Amino acid sequence: MQKRKLGNNLEVSALGLGCMRMSFGDTPTDKAEMIAFLHAAVERGITFFDTAEVYGPFTNEELVGEALEPFKGQVVIATKFGFKHDPDKGPSPANGTDSRPEQIRRVAEASLKRLRVEAIDLFYQHRPDPNVPIEDVAGAVKELIQEGKVKHFGLSESSAEQIRRAHAVQPVTALQSEYSIWWRNIEAEILPTLEELGIGLVPYSPLGRGYLTGKVDQSTTFASSDIRSRNPRFTPQAIKANQVVVDLLARIGQEKGATPAQIALAWLLAQKPWIVPIPGSRKLERLDENNSAVNVQLTPQNLGEIRDAMSKITVVGDRY
Could you list the active site residues?
55
Q: Exposure pattern of 131-147 as b/e (b: 16+ CB <10 Å)? A: ebebeebbebbbbbbee
Q: What angle do CA 155, 158, 161 make, to 5 degrees?
A: 115
Long-range Cβ pairs for the range 231-239 (8 Å, 24+):
231/317, 231/319, 231/320, 232/317, 232/318, 232/319, 232/320, 233/208, 233/209, 233/315, 233/316, 233/317, 233/318, 233/319, 234/209, 234/317, 235/317, 237/316, 238/316, 238/317, 239/211
Residues 127/155, Cβ–Cβ less than 8 Å: no
| CA dist., res. 36 & res. 284, Å (int) | 10
